[in-house]
Structure formats: structure tokens, C-alpha cells
């Protein structure tokens, strides 16, 4: 079997060789040619830094590998990094910075509300944005797909919510209490969970809304318990997930907590400790070396950063987003990296990318800007302070190649 490193080198050699034939590329191949700038925006400090930093590290690792085999036609990729601190105003300023800095595309945003405030900047500037982490369903639906410059490699909540709800129904947990924060992420997630329940002719028995930073939700938890809830579906990104879990423990209310991928974050697992045990969530990537590609990624990450991967899903999605951008740019043979050209290249990636999360065959198109589909999800579970597979069939299915359906 061809190893990943040999495959990467072969891929780069083919791409560069194909480019050399064009006279217009002579300057691009010059060692003194300028770099290709790529923007990266995310919460690298502040309340969402646990997964923002992981996204950044996945992106850094990918471009380090790509640069090692020639970058874009001999030009190295240079990352232009901005910290949005999970704050919409800072995210907006970062977007404006990317336009003025002259990046060819941006990989960014972990928080739905932060991303939502910035989309117009990218769309108006005709500057492609690939979202590796933020999952709010409206983000890739803001503009008509054919004209949209907004792409995504994270699973939108419109597929996460029904995936988790289907699992709940299969387990017989049909009296659902929803706890959603009042951010854009919570708003969109609540709608997606309610729609998923409605597809089973179900309604939540209790809905609780709360602001970020809330310290005590016991009154809402009591109300959910009194309403007969047999499961708590939480939709928030920070320590509030732990507030819910610790509140359940204090009330000695032993019902499961489920949700989207933030239940895999350290802010939840470390903040709730034993109260986090058994929590289940949608995942695209669990840090187990189930194939050569994933094993290579996990080994390379540990070698570069000298630490365990805290939020594997964020790192993997950032890594894959970087490679998909690079694959798209290698389809541009004349060196023209204008926004419309890059957008068109992303919509027409012809070469299969064997990624960490999935195998990507035409991940985007003119009318589809979301790379992931529901069949790429698995159920994760907190066990002994780490995330593993919640279902044996998911662990087996993870050995197989996952392609977009």
C-alpha cells in the first residue's frame, strides 16, 4: 500500500509537472516569487480557544506538509492569522483585514454568531471563505448557492441534529428537554433539533434558553425533570455544557446528556469531570488510527505539537480544509488566483483527496457548498475522560472509506 507521504509527494510532483509546461508559470516557479497568502480566523484565545487552537494547528500542519513538497507551483503558502476571541466585532474586523491583506482565500470561524456577522465581507469582496468548524445551518445558506463564496468542511447542524435525534429515538429516549444558549449557534441549533423531533412526530417536553456565562441552571433542570424529560439535548459551545452536567449531578437526576460536537470539548469534559461520563455527541473524527491516513495525521500532529489532540474533530476538519483549498488551487494552471477563479476551482476539484475525515470526491459544486453529509457522522461518547465510539457499528464503519452521498 502506498504510504501517505509517498502519495503526497507524487501528487505534488504531478501537479507541479503539469504546471511547468505553461510559460506563464516560469515566474511562479522562481524561488524568489512571492508567497501565496491564506487567511486563518478563529478564537485562539478566550472562551472558545479549546477548539479554535486545534483548528489552527490542523491547518498549520497541512500547509507545512504541502510546502515541504513544493507549495503552489514552487511558491510557499503563508498563513495570515487573526484571533477573533469568539467575538463578532473582532471577527468582522478580521474579515476586513483579510480583504486588505490580499489573501487568496480564508479558512475560518468556529462560532456561528461570529461567522454570521462576517459573511457579507467575504461575499462582497468575492473572497472565498472555507469554514472548518462553525456548524450553524444558516451559514452556507445565506446566499444563493451558485453565487456563494462561502464553503464549509464542518457538519452543519441540519445533519448533526437529526443524526443525534435518530439515535435517541432508536434508544427509546423520546421525552427530550432542549437546553440552548441565546447565541446564533443556539438559535439555529434549537430550530434544527425541533425540526428533527418533528420528523418523528415529537416535540420537546421542555425548552430552556440561557446566555453564555450562566453559572446556575438548576431551576431549568428541575423544570425539565418535572416535565418528564428522559434525556437532555444541549446546544452551546462553552463551559455551559458543563454547567448543565454539574447541575444534573447536584440534583441527582441521572438522565443522559447528548448534543452536537461541543460535548467533545475540554471545556465540557474537564469542567464536568465525572458528570460528563456517558455524554454522547455527533462526531466526524475520533482520534483512533483506523486507517493509514488517520494514523499518519495523528502521528504527524504529535510530532509537531508535542501534546495530545484536545479536540480531534476541529484539528481534522481544519487539516482537510487546507488540503481541499490546495487541491483546488492546483487546478489553476495559469497562476490567476483571483476570487472568482478560486471559487470556481473549489467547485470543480477533479482529483480525489483521501482525507482524514472522509474521502472527498467533488466535495463542492456550483450548487453545494457543504463538503460533509450525514453518512460521514458517528456517535461519540465520553468514557474515562476521553471521546470514543458510542456504538460498536460506528467503530466498524469507521474502518471503511466514507464518501459524500
* Radius of gyration, alpha carbons of the chain: 21
CB atoms within 10 A of CB 216: 12
Q: What is the pLDDT of residues 26-53, one digit of tens each?
A: 333 333 448 999 999 999 999 899 999 9
CA distance 97 to 91: 10
Chain position carrying cell 498549520: 60
Residue position matching grid coordinates 470526491: 361
Please, what are the domains in the chain?
4-155+287-372 (3.40.50.2300), 158-283+378-397 (3.40.50.2300)
pLDDT number for residue 334: 92
Partner residues linked to 382 by β-bridges = 387
Q: What angle do the packed helices 312-329 and 49-68 form, to 10 degrees?
A: 40
Q: Check: CB of residue 222 under 8 Å from CB of residue 251.
A: yes
What is the rounded average pLDDT of the residues 214-234?
97
- In what order do the strands lie in the sheet containing 386-389? 206-210, 176-181, 231-235, 257-259, 280-283, 378-383, 386-389
3-state helix, strand, coil in the chain (%, to 5): 45, 15, 35
User: Each residue of 122-169: pLDDT tens digit?
Assistant: 999 999 999 999 999 999 999 999 999 999 999 999 999 999 999 999
Give pLDDT, residue 9.
Answer: 57
Tell me if 46 sits within 8 A of 87, measured CB to CB: yes
Confidence of residue 6 (pLDDT cuts 50, 70, 90): low
The pLDDT value given to residue 103: 97
How many other β-carbons are positioned within 10 Å of the β-carbon of residue 1? 7
According to DSSP, the residues that pair with 181 across neighbouring strands are 210
Q: What angle do CA 16, 152, 176 make, to 5 degrees?
A: 150
φ, ψ of residue 50 in degrees (nearest 5): -60, -40
DSSP labels, 112-179:
HHHHHHHHHHHHHHT--EEESS---GGGGGSS-GGG--EEE-S--HHHHHHHHHHHHHHHT---EEEE
236-277 pLDDT tens trace: 988 999 999 999 999 999 999 999 999 999 999 999 999 999
The three state secondary structure string of 353-383 is EECCCCEECCCCECCECECCCHHHCEEEEEE
Amino acid at each position: 500500500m502506498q504510504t501517505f507521504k509517498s502519495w503526497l509527494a507524487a501528487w505534488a510532483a504531478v501537479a507541479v509537472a503539469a504546471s511547468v509546461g505553461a510559460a506563464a508559470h516560469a515566474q511562479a516557479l522562481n524561488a524568489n516569487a512571492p508567497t501565496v497568502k491564506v487567511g486563518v480566523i478563529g478564537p485562539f484565545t478566550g472562551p472558545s480557544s479549546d477548539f479554535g487552537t486545534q483548528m489552527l494547528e490542523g491547518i498549520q500542519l497541512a500547509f507545512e506538509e504541502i510546502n515541504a513538497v513544493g507549495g503552489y507551483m514552487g511558491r510557499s503558502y503563508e498563513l495570515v492569522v487573526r484571533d477573533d476571541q469568539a467575538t463578532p466585532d473582532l471577527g468582522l474586523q478580521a474579515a476586513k483585514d483579510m480583504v486588505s491583506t490580499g489573501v487568496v482565500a480564508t479558512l475560518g470561524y468556529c462560532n456561528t454568531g461570529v461567522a454570521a456577522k462576517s459573511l457579507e465581507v467575504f461575499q462582497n469582496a468575492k473572497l472565498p471563505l472555507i469554514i472548518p468548524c462553525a456548524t450553524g445551518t444558516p451559514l452556507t445558506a445565506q446566499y444563493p448557492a451558485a453565487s456563494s463564496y462561502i464553503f464549509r468542511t464542518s457538519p452543519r447542524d441540519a445533519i448533526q441534529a437529526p443524526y443525534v435525534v435518530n439515535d435517541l429515538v432508536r434508544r427509546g429516549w423520546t421525552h427530550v428537554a432542549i437546553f440552548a444558549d441565546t447565541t446564533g449557534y443556539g438559535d439555529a441549533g434549537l430550530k434544527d433539533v425541533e425540526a428533527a423531533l418533528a420528523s418523528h412526530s415529537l416535540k420537546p417536553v421542555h425548552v430552556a434558553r440561557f446566555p453564555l456565562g450562566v453559572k446556575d441552571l438548576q431551576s431549568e433542570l428541575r423544570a425539565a425533570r418535572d416535565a418528564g424529560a428522559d434525556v437532555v439535548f444541549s446546544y452551546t459551545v462553552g463551559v455551559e455544557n458543563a454547567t448543565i452536567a454539574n447541575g444534573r449531578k447536584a440534583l441527582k437526576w441521572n438522565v443522559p446528556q447528548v448534543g452536537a460536537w461541543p460535548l467533545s470539548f475540554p471545556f465540557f469534559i474537564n469542567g464536568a469531570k465525572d458528570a460528563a461520563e456517558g455524554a454522547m455527541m455527533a462526531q466526524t473524527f475520533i482520534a483512533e488510527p483506523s486507517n493509514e491516513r488517520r494514523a499518519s495525521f495523528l502521528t504527524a500532529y504529535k510530532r509537531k505539537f508535542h501534546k495530545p489532540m484536545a479536540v480531534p474533530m476541529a484539528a481534522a476538519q481544519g487539516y482537510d480544509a487546507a488540503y481541499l483549498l490546495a487541491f483546488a488551487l492546483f487546478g489553476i494552471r495559469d497562476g490567476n488566483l483571483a476570487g472568482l477563479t478560486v471559487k470556481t476551482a473549489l467547485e470543480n476539484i477533479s482529483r480525489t483527496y483521501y482525507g482524514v475525515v472522509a474521502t472527498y470526491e467533488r466535495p463542492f459544486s456550483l450548487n453545494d457548498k457543504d463538503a460533509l453529509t450525514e453518512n460521514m457522522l458517528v456517535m461519540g461518547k465520553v468514557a474515562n475522560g476521553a471521546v470514543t465510539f458510542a456504538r460498536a457499528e460506528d467503530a466498524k464503519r469507521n474502518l471503511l472509506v466514507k464518501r459524500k452521498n
